[in-house]
């Protein structure tokens, strides 16, 4: 028991010494429904409890080809005392331009391309490597499609980014 308490104390102490925030992070993001893109995340404010994330990319489904842009506003919350693990939640718009398909299964709403818009709501988990540059994140949530047809969807994403430290 003494060893366990000592180990926890050391982890907290060294965590306080080595924990750092990052200024920005750049990497790749991928997920369902089938896309990959370049991803940029920028913490906001002095306390860095919120962030903006910008993603631009394309998909890898030959039947539903699109290019997209996504902007997300996130609120971050540290898990535990002085931890490198965070959960985050937020929302943001996504604009997709389909050159073919459109993921619409209702035959009365068949789309052969064009502009699609949606609002994403998400809850995620993030690991910020202490004294390192690696930033890993995963999130899941519903998507509310607005154009060309009102509908609901689900999405999940993973991101791997390199962080720029203070």
Q: Domains plus CATH for the chain?
A: 2-165 (2.40.160.20)
Task: Note the pLDDT of residue 112.
Answer: 57
Torsion sign over Cα 93, 88, 22, 67? negative
Q: In terms of pTM, does the model score above 0.85?
A: no
Q: How far apart (Å, rounded) are the C-alpha atoms in residues 15 and 59?
A: 39
Angle of CA points 56, 157, 24, to nearest 5°: 55
What distance in Å separates the CA atoms of residue 3 and residue 105, rounded to the nearest whole number?
A: 59
Pairwise CA distance, residues 88 & 76, whole Å: 4
Other beta carbons within 10 Å of 34: 13
pLDDT per 10-residue tile (average), the chain, 166 residues: 44 39 88 89 85 92 84 91 86 90 59 81 90 89 89 92 83
Residue 49: its pLDDT value, please? 85
């Amino acid at each position: 028991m003494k060893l366990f308490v000592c180990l926890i104390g050391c982890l907290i102490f060294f965590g306080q010494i080595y924990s750092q925030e990052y200024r920005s992070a750049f990497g790749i993001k991928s997920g369902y429904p089938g896309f990959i893109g370049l991803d940029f995340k920028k913490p906001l404010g002095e306390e860095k409890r919120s962030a903006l994330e910008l993603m631009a990319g394309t998909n890898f489904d030959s039947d539903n080809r699109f290019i997209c842009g996504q902007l997300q506003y996130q609120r971050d919350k540290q898990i535990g005392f002085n931890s490198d693990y965070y959960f985050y939640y937020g929302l943001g718009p996504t604009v997709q331009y389909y050159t073919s398909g459109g993921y619409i299964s209702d035959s009365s709403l068949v789309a052969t391309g064009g502009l699609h818009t949606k609002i994403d709501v998400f809850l995620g988990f993030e690991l910020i490597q202490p004294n390192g540059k690696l930033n890993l994140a995963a999130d899941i949530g519903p998507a509310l499609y607005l154009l060309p047809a009102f509908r609901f969807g689900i999405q999940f994403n993973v991101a791997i980014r390199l962080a720029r430290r203070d």
